[in-house]
Structure 1
Amino acid sequence: MTAATKPDTMFDAAVLAQLACKIPAGKPAQLRAAVTARVKEQIRQERKHCEALLLAENKGRSCAQRLCRMTDAIISTLYEFVTGHIYPPGNPSQAEHITLVAVGGYGHGTLAPYSDIDLMFLLPWKRTPWCEQVMEYMLYLLWDCGLKVGHSTRNVSEAIRMGQQDITVRTALLEARYLTGGKALFDDLASRFATEVVAGSAPEFIRAKLAERDARLKKAGETRYLVEPDVKESKGGLRDLQTLVWIARYHYRITAPDQLVQHGVLSRQEAHLFQKAADFLWTVRCHLHFVTARAQDKLSFDLQREIAHRLGYTDHPGLEDVERFMKHYFLTARQVGNLTRIICAALEDRQAKTVSGLDRTAPPRTRETGKIPDSADFIVENHRLTLSNDQIFTRDPVNLIRIFHLADTYRLALHPHAMQQLSRSLRLVNTALRENKIANALFVDIVTSPRNPALVLRRMNESGILGKFIPDFGKIVAMTQFNMYHHYTVDEHLLRCIDHLSRIEKGQTDKEHPLAHSLLDLIHRKRRILYPALFLHDIAKGRAEHHAPAGEKIARKLCPRFGLDREETDTIAWLVREHLTMNMVAQSRDLNDHKTIADFAGVVQTVERLQLLLVLTICDIKGVGPDVWNGWKGQLLRTLYHKTRHMLTNGASDMPRAARVNAAKAALAARLPDWDRKTLEHCLALHYSPYWLAVAPQNQLRHARFILEADRQGKALSILVRPLAFEAVTELTILAPDHPRLLSIITGSCASAGANIVDAQIFTTTDGRGLDRILISRAFAHDADEERRARNVGRMIENALSGKIRLPDMIAAQPARKDLRHAFDRPPRVDINNNFSNKFSVLEIKGLDRPGLLSELTRVIADMALDIASAHINTFGEKVIDTFYVTDLVGHKITDLQRQRTIKRRLLAVFAPVQKENHEPD
């Protein structure tokens, strides 16, 4: 508890006293309005001044302290005004006294521009009518002035009793700061709080605060590396620093974090880092509040660039200004984690406590110690690995790697003191250690461990050792990618990929990844390839050169250092170079096109490399973030894998095209033995050659029965719905009279219904009907619910095709993603490739996603007299990559350069800020 700080503001009670003199008596409403207006203006001016200082100096904590002093002055002045001019006490009794106390975050002496104000009215005994009047008048005045005030009213005994019973109240009282009123009452509270609440209760308080922290982080996201962090609540944020301050103040009875140096808890450098981290986080938080004019603490994508500009970050080769800012943020968050471990280590050392994790303090018990076999440098203390003495790293720097190897081997957590000493020994990681064969062999054992490699690597990363031992990895530590697709920093992504491979190897994902599970023997045999490849696959991000070929060069440099042989090095380097290829082909190419498979087979060349790339691709997608992987992506990868393996094993088919078409027709006829000859011949004559070569036999059978039933019922429009649970998609098969804009209407209807299309096959029958197979992302877990939803989508398509609804109006009513155009700079791009397919031109369109985009693209494509054979739709966060296999109306590729330029121009115009339909001839 602290006394009031002297306000540095021109605002005082004399200003309000003058207003009281100017306004005639008997007009309280007029006086109140005048006072409110004067205070609101003072707040506006002071906030404006604070923002100007923040922009000029970027000293967030100074800004928060100044705003706190302003608030102190306003509250004190209003109290003096209310008790002097509105409700003067006259001849007050002993009970008619009020002490105003700042508590909670406000009591700490820092206040973000639009944060809540926690205020306690401290009474000597019980409420009196005069006290009620003063408190009510003050609160309504403060609220009318636009301040968000949370308040409590207690006497000293009530406050002490609640502090003993409720840890939240206790924490608020720990920060209590005198503002105005009876000082003796505050001193009594402070004295009793120290003797009756704090004394002897430090272990209980520490346990409660760390448990509270665990619950908060579970809600906010366990990792500190989520790319839209909450500056206040996320791991490594201001709340973590504040928790450390509470614990230190409670245990050591200090008033400022730098006093921990005197207690031997922090070094001077660590105390400096503490203040530096607090300054940076407060600066970011204050900017967030000023930019949004509200209590905004989440660094969302639409705000990150603005904050980066305010802080003066600029673009560097390979890194945008916003990415450099966010890297600084996450490095700061990691420093906060290091400080947390250091303080917890000191507390445990003094109180002989056990912990269940790096940041826990548990009930006291006897310290248990044990030895590590064949090692005099390390001991086990309370089931955690620590140092036998603090000189072991200096004496033998290989111990900086060996400690993590032992932690993995014996499945031990690291003691916070060990983590502290690791962080303090980073200077020992030099070229000699990096080239040390023993150290590198130990590191490879860690990366390829059959136990829990990601956990140990994460400890290495948090200590700073990993980035120092592998400097190329150090460059991507805390690096973000400014998009909505990647959920984590690059280093965290790599560790999550390794963790997923470990889970596959242990058989924990057999239902989700049956194909990868079938390759367990390969994973066991090639672990010295797969695990290092995952560790290295994104290590070159943030450079001017594309990270895949740049990563290949790094792999060829590091793998020999790790002790990997030439074959292992070559395969790892190849996997790093091609790590994007399989996913790109699976999602953006027509897997029914023979050339797609042939080209991909030419890249992988062997079945073993195909299998290795499949496993790496699965882990890479899984490591991007929650809900990025789905059954449809798995199905595409399985299809690509099986078709490529068949080609690698059996070679390309040399059967002529016509023979393959006839064989497909014969196979379908054999599966329809009960059909009469006339009906069967009509069915076989309905489709052109591409249909028979592109559609799977089971779908041909389903289409035949579907079309026959529609014809029997005389339905011009018919829609078949089929949920595919394992693939996480629902299939809509639409039979309708064909016309150029049919696909545009279908896609627009899906957008209006909120359905996300992932794939489409488009065919025209010989009798002039469109047969379109549309796959939409699954929305419900149960087939019955999903089928009901899909039928609603079908009705939307029927209504649109019959002209009952206007699609542009329906699409416009769909909620758009918040401020995407402002937050992201994604210039659209259109590529036309005539090499990906022997029959089709491939249009690849990239740009910023929005509701109805696919419908507009397909409309423009149709308006340019192009036939779409298939469409492959991929959304990566805010960005869409749509691929269309097209021909002109006579079935030829688009080879004329002038027409290609026209196509590009028309499609790029779809992404223009103002959408206008262009009917002018090209």
Structure 2
Amino acid sequence: MSLPAIPRQRAILDRRKLVAAIDDIVAEKGAADGRQAIVEQLRTALDAGRAELERRLVEKPGSGHESAHGYAFLIDQLIRIVHDHVIEHVYPVANRSKGERLALIAVGGYGRGEMSPHSDVDIAFVTPDKPTSWCEQVIEAILYYLWDLSLTVGHSSRSLNEVTRMAREDITIRTALLEGRFLWGDQEVYEAASRRFWAEVVPGTESRFVSEKLAERDARHRRMGDSRYVVEPNVKDGKGGLRDLQTLYWIGKYTHRVKSARELVDKGLFTQEEYRSFRRAEGFLLAVRAHLHTLAKRGEDRLTFDLQREVAARMNYADRPGKSAVERFMQFYFLQVKHVGHLTGVFLSHIEEETQERSRISEFFSALKPAKSVEGYPVQADKIAAPSDDWFQQDPIRLLEIFAIAEREGLEVHPATIRIARRDSGLIDAKVRKDPRANELFLDLLSGRRDPETVLRWLNEAGVFGRFVPDFGKVNAQMQFDMYHHYTVDEHTIRAIGLLSEIERGNLAEDHPLASEMLPLIQNRRALYVSVLLHDIAKGRGGDHSVLGAEVARKVCPRLGLDEAETELVAWLVRYHLLMSATAFKRDLSDPKTITDFIAEVQNLERLRLLTVLTIVDIRAVGPGVWNSWKRQLIGDLYENSVERLRLGHKAHGREKRVAAKKEVVAEMLGEQGNLVQSLDDRFNDAYWIAEPEDVIAINLPHYEAARQAGHALSIHAQFYEALGATLVTVIGEDHPGLFFRIAGAIHLAGGNIIDARIHTNRVGKAVDNFLVLDPLGKPFSEDQQLARLKKSIEDALANKIDMVPRLAKRPLKQTRAEAFHVAPQVLFDNDASNRYTVIEVNATDRPALLNRLTRAMFEASLIINSAHITQYGERAVDTFYVTDLLGGKIVAQERLDKVKRALLDAIAAGEPENAEAA
């Protein structure tokens, strides 16, 4: 194997010129004394070659193959020059013996001729027999030169016998040698190694090699998140990345002895078009990797948020209405890895059929069994297939029928049939999209009762999904450039449908008890599945995707066969699919107006149930760790409060009963201390009882009584609150202005983030403040030492033992991924959301001690905070405060509102890094 022709080679490295310069140094100083000067000549040539290749990449930013081969050529030339210098000038031998022979073999990616700017240089030094002293000296001298050039060299030194023996034992060595390319030295030794590899190592091990490579691939995918649609993908090792393409080539080469990927077409493993897709994906990924290495100035293969924007710019992507340059670049990236997934399925199905070994007896018995078929489709080994190559051409509706049958019967669609479906997906036109039978089949699949997620993913891989629902095709492989969403829009949607199906089948009753209980009660099942499909359908269109999505729903639903009432229901669900989470996470659920406003929009119990389930699967499908106990509690509280209001109607009657019921439950939970409910009744008003969960009240009351009995002016408690997966911090003491911002600062200094705060002043002027706290990784503090640190920090802050502002300034969190983003700060006032309070909502980039700065600004603006609700959406912090002025009234004067807004914006700006730029 040799490298493809490299254009303008001498501009990368002029070998004759460099060799002449080295010869001159040797002639003047000798090999030993001139060594440093020779290294400088080599380093200058290496730097100049890299600069030339980088310039070419800037000129042609998508030329991945050319760049990869160019870097391999540069390293080839340097190693050849070093080799010749060492054997001619450093260790010259007039008449070398048979043992004094050495072959340099490029192996691994270097052997394949695919090198990125900072790839490792993998070389095998091979000798006919055990290396002689001369061979060892030469190898060592070559390596020292390469190390002096700061190259990362992976190397081995073995005899022909050792190479053969170790390749039999170790799949890593076997894979490296599989791509071995003669680099320099003794070509006869290389050819002997190659002959022995193919004659003594490969025969009889093909099936084992395939299975080991696939197991290796699966393990790698699991390490990388097991999805090709994660938003910070690994270009090399991620699912659908370069390593997957290389795995196909390795398997093809090992089992079919091909010398290039092009030959896979001749072997029938790829069609010509699939091979072009292979090359296109490989070229694009190699280009992306080259840009990554160049920007990072090291071997960086992870396409992180901060690098995505820069790579997109280098590859000449531009903003478009509704879609930024980086989102367009990443959408193209995910389309390429999707093609890699399709190629993998097609390729492996061929290999599986070819390597399947069946005994004569099993063949005899299988011949006796009649072939199973379902509705005219042959089924073998639980795989359903198209009966003929032109099956879909005869009737394009069959492109939907086969997937619908597969879901209904619990079958896998044969990869070869997915290949045909992908080829014929263009047959789906307006006529097919309008066909009632086609729409019925699609709706059956979407709302299937076995495993719609998996089959919809096959439908998407085949290109049929986006053709049949063109609006879905527009969000195919579309990412959102933020830290909140872990997957592309299409992957998120398919995962949400899968979660809905799993909950309905009773598989997630422990994780989602509320949704599991209400799903059997829902009357509009089809509308629910369609609303999950369409909830994000309008993302990337340059407007409110909820409003635009409702318009899409009104067009798509009648086509799918939904009646007018179902269509309006789906449109409403899509329009308001964020209403429940926004209300639960950003509003005070103990405020009666919150529930009144929510119910005014929801209107009835059926819509409430549908919206609750849609909200749960939407949040859960965002990514791992996004759904947690705290969110489950808030959604559950909003649901229960809303059900109660819908059933009881008048709020006062319901409120009275709720408080009485809570008191009974708390008294029971307290056991022997149950009398505290009655004895402290004159201290706590109804607002406290409505706001706090029963188990928190059962924690607060004994603490309050103990502090009262002991005469403590300040009492602080911190404990792991298992029900919500967070740490509950309670501060009981004399209420005074600025209490909140001091506590918030102290919790931050102790390494905590507040996710919710309920501020109460009881009837005798005591503050009873409850905070839910997590660490910066979203985990609760549960160790005694951590809890003690939290308490001590708050004690010191409230006793003015620490100077808060300079301490906070000295303790910024380490650099985080959020530094790649900037959320335009926004301050919103709402005097209609509550009857008693002005609601202030602050949107900003999540930064260290943001809450402390905001609450301090409100204190300095003479505002009293009643409750705070802190929500993070990746890099975006959304903090909501229920406030009054010092006299307990709302903030209504425009001049006062403007002053508060300015103070809050200044507080946000104080925490921004100096180089923050608007996204």
Alpha-carbon shift at residue 468 of structure 1 (Å): 0.6
Matched AA of 1:301: F
Matched AA of 1:872: H
Corresponding residue for residue 589 of structure 1: 587
User: 5+ residue gaps in structure 2?
Assistant: 915-919
Corresponding residue for residue 410 of structure 1: 409
Corresponding residue for residue 74 of structure 1: 78
Mapped pair 1:719 → 2:725: no
Higher mean displacement: 137-146 or 116-125: 137-146
Higher mean displacement: 274-283 or 688-697: 688-697
RMSD: 3.1
Alpha-carbon shift at residue 810 of structure 1 (Å): 5.0
Whether the 8 Å contact between 2:847 and 2:912 is mirrored in structure 1 is no
Instruction: Assess, with a 3 A threshold, how the Cα gap between structure 1 residues 403 and 695 changes in structure 2: closer, same or farther.
Output: closer
Higher mean displacement: 493-502 or 700-709: 700-709
Q: Deviations over 1:394-430 (max 9, x none)?
A: 1111110111012112211121111111111112111
- Give the SS at the match of 1:255: coil
Q: Deviations over 1:785-805 (max 9, x none)?
A: 456533331222112223444
Task: Find 1:881's aligned residue among 878, 882, 888.
Answer: 878
Whether the 8 Å contact between 2:726 and 2:780 is mirrored in structure 1 is no
Whether the 8 Å contact between 1:422 and 1:463 is mirrored in structure 2 is yes
Corresponding residue for residue 299 of structure 2: 295
Whether the 8 Å contact between 1:352 and 1:365 is mirrored in structure 2 is no
CA distance in 2, matches of 1:571, 1:365: 57
User: 5+ residue gaps in structure 1?
Assistant: 355-362, 918-922
Instruction: Assess, with a 3 A threshold, how the Cα gap between structure 1 residues 882 and 254 changes in structure 2: closer, same or farther.
Output: same
CA distance in 1, matches of 2:776, 2:786: 8
Q: Deviations over 1:144-171 (max 9, x none)?
A: 2110001001111211122222221111
Alpha-carbon shift at residue 246 of structure 1 (Å): 1.3
Corresponding residue for residue 271 of structure 1: 275
Whether the 8 Å contact between 1:3 and 1:177 is mirrored in structure 2 is no
Whether the 8 Å contact between 2:707 and 2:715 is mirrored in structure 1 is yes
- Give the SS at the match of 1:256: coil
Aligned pairs for 1:24-35 (under 5 A) are 28=32, 31-35=34-38
- Give the SS at the match of 1:387: coil
CA distance in 2, matches of 1:36, 1:13: 12
Aligned pairs for 1:734-813 (under 5 A) are 734-765=731-762, 768-777=765-774, 785-786=782-783, 789-808=786-805, 811-812=808-809
Alpha-carbon shift at residue 86 of structure 1 (Å): 1.8
Whether the 8 Å contact between 1:485 and 1:877 is mirrored in structure 2 is yes
Alpha-carbon shift at residue 345 of structure 1 (Å): 3.0
Higher mean displacement: 433-442 or 578-587: 433-442
Alpha-carbon shift at residue 696 of structure 1 (Å): 5.4
Q: Deviations over 1:267-289 (max 9, x none)?
A: 22222211111111011000000
CA distance in 2, matches of 1:673, 1:92: 95
Mapped pair 1:235 → 2:234: no
Alpha-carbon shift at residue 673 of structure 1 (Å): 12
Alpha-carbon shift at residue 667 of structure 1 (Å): 8.1
- Give the SS at the match of 1:751: helix
Q: Deviations over 1:890-917 (max 9, x none)?
A: 1111111112112111111223266799
Q: Deviations over 1:295-337 (max 9, x none)?
A: 0000011111111111111111211111110000000001111
Higher mean displacement: 768-777 or 140-149: 768-777
Task: Find 2:90's aligned residue among 80, 86, 95.
Answer: 86
Alpha-carbon shift at residue 819 of structure 1 (Å): 5.6
Instruction: Assess, with a 3 A threshold, how the Cα gap between structure 1 residues 866 and 3 changes in structure 2: closer, same or farther.
Output: closer
Alpha-carbon shift at residue 348 of structure 1 (Å): 3.5
Mapped pair 1:173 → 2:177: yes
Whether the 8 Å contact between 1:353 and 1:367 is mirrored in structure 2 is no
Whether the 8 Å contact between 1:867 and 1:886 is mirrored in structure 2 is yes
- Give the SS at the match of 1:261: helix
Alpha-carbon shift at residue 375 of structure 1 (Å): 2.7
Task: Find 1:210's aligned residue among 210, 214, 230.
Answer: 214
- Give the SS at the match of 1:899: helix
- Give the SS at the match of 2:229: coil
CA distance in 2, matches of 1:20, 1:374: 80
Alpha-carbon shift at residue 213 of structure 1 (Å): 1.2
Corresponding residue for residue 399 of structure 1: 398
Corresponding residue for residue 893 of structure 2: 896
Whether the 8 Å contact between 1:40 and 1:145 is mirrored in structure 2 is yes
Instruction: Assess, with a 3 A threshold, how the Cα gap between structure 1 residues 697 and 403 changes in structure 2: closer, same or farther.
Output: closer
Q: Percent identity?
A: 40
CA distance in 2, matches of 1:680, 1:434: 64
Task: Find 1:541's aligned residue among 535, 539, 542.
Answer: 539
Matched AA of 2:76: D
CA distance in 2, matches of 1:676, 1:641: 29
Alpha-carbon shift at residue 50 of structure 1 (Å): 1.1
Instruction: Assess, with a 3 A threshold, how the Cα gap between structure 1 residues 224 and 673 changes in structure 2: closer, same or farther.
Output: closer
CA distance in 1, matches of 2:567, 2:4: 66
- Give the SS at the match of 1:179: strand
- Give the SS at the match of 1:910: helix
Corresponding residue for residue 653 of structure 1: 651
Corresponding residue for residue 359 of structure 1: none
Instruction: Assess, with a 3 A threshold, how the Cα gap between structure 1 residues 453 and 786 changes in structure 2: closer, same or farther.
Output: farther
Aligned pairs for 1:504-515 (under 5 A) are 504-515=503-514
Whether the 8 Å contact between 2:683 and 2:762 is mirrored in structure 1 is yes
Alpha-carbon shift at residue 738 of structure 1 (Å): 3.1
Aligned pairs for 1:278-427 (under 5 A) are 278-352=282-356, 371-373=371-373, 375-376=375-376, 378-427=377-426
Instruction: Assess, with a 3 A threshold, how the Cα gap between structure 1 residues 386 and 905 changes in structure 2: closer, same or farther.
Output: same
Corresponding residue for residue 42 of structure 1: 45
Alpha-carbon shift at residue 728 of structure 1 (Å): 1.5
CA distance in 2, matches of 1:485, 1:38: 50
Corresponding residue for residue 27 of structure 2: 21
Alpha-carbon shift at residue 850 of structure 1 (Å): 1.6
Q: Deviations over 1:651-706 (max 9, x none)?
A: 1234699x9999899989999999999x9999555457754664456655654432
CA distance in 2, matches of 1:785, 1:324: 43
**TM-score scaled by structure 2?**
0.92
Mapped pair 1:452 → 2:458: no
CA distance in 1, matches of 2:268, 2:744: 66
Alpha-carbon shift at residue 822 of structure 1 (Å): 5.0
CA distance in 2, matches of 1:105, 1:700: 63
Higher mean displacement: 366-375 or 203-212: 366-375
Task: Find 1:134's aligned residue among 135, 138, 142.
Answer: 138
Whether the 8 Å contact between 2:775 and 2:781 is mirrored in structure 1 is no
Higher mean displacement: 261-270 or 292-301: 261-270
Whether the 8 Å contact between 2:125 and 2:158 is mirrored in structure 1 is yes
Task: Find 1:105's aligned residue among 106, 109, 114.
Answer: 109
CA distance in 1, matches of 2:485, 2:774: 20
Q: Deviations over 1:501-528 (max 9, x none)?
A: 11211222222222222214125x4321
CA distance in 1, matches of 2:789, 2:827: 33
Matched AA of 1:552: A
Higher mean displacement: 184-193 or 682-691: 682-691
Alpha-carbon shift at residue 604 of structure 1 (Å): 0.7
Whether the 8 Å contact between 1:4 and 1:179 is mirrored in structure 2 is no
Corresponding residue for residue 147 of structure 1: 151
- Give the SS at the match of 1:912: helix
- Give the SS at the match of 2:141: helix
CA distance in 1, matches of 2:671, 2:304: 61
Higher mean displacement: 227-236 or 900-909: 900-909
Corresponding residue for residue 188 of structure 1: 192
- Give the SS at the match of 1:158: helix
Instruction: Assess, with a 3 A threshold, how the Cα gap between structure 1 residues 680 and 583 changes in structure 2: closer, same or farther.
Output: closer
Corresponding residue for residue 624 of structure 2: 626
- Give the SS at the match of 1:770: strand
Q: Deviations over 1:333-361 (max 9, x none)?
A: 0111111122223334444569xxxxxxx
Instruction: Assess, with a 3 A threshold, how the Cα gap between structure 1 residues 548 and 680 changes in structure 2: closer, same or farther.
Output: closer
Matched AA of 1:409: R
- Give the SS at the match of 1:151: strand
Matched AA of 1:572: V
Corresponding residue for residue 917 of structure 2: none
Matched AA of 1:566: E
CA distance in 2, matches of 1:830, 1:229: 34
Corresponding residue for residue 860 of structure 1: 857
CA distance in 1, matches of 2:129, 2:913: 72
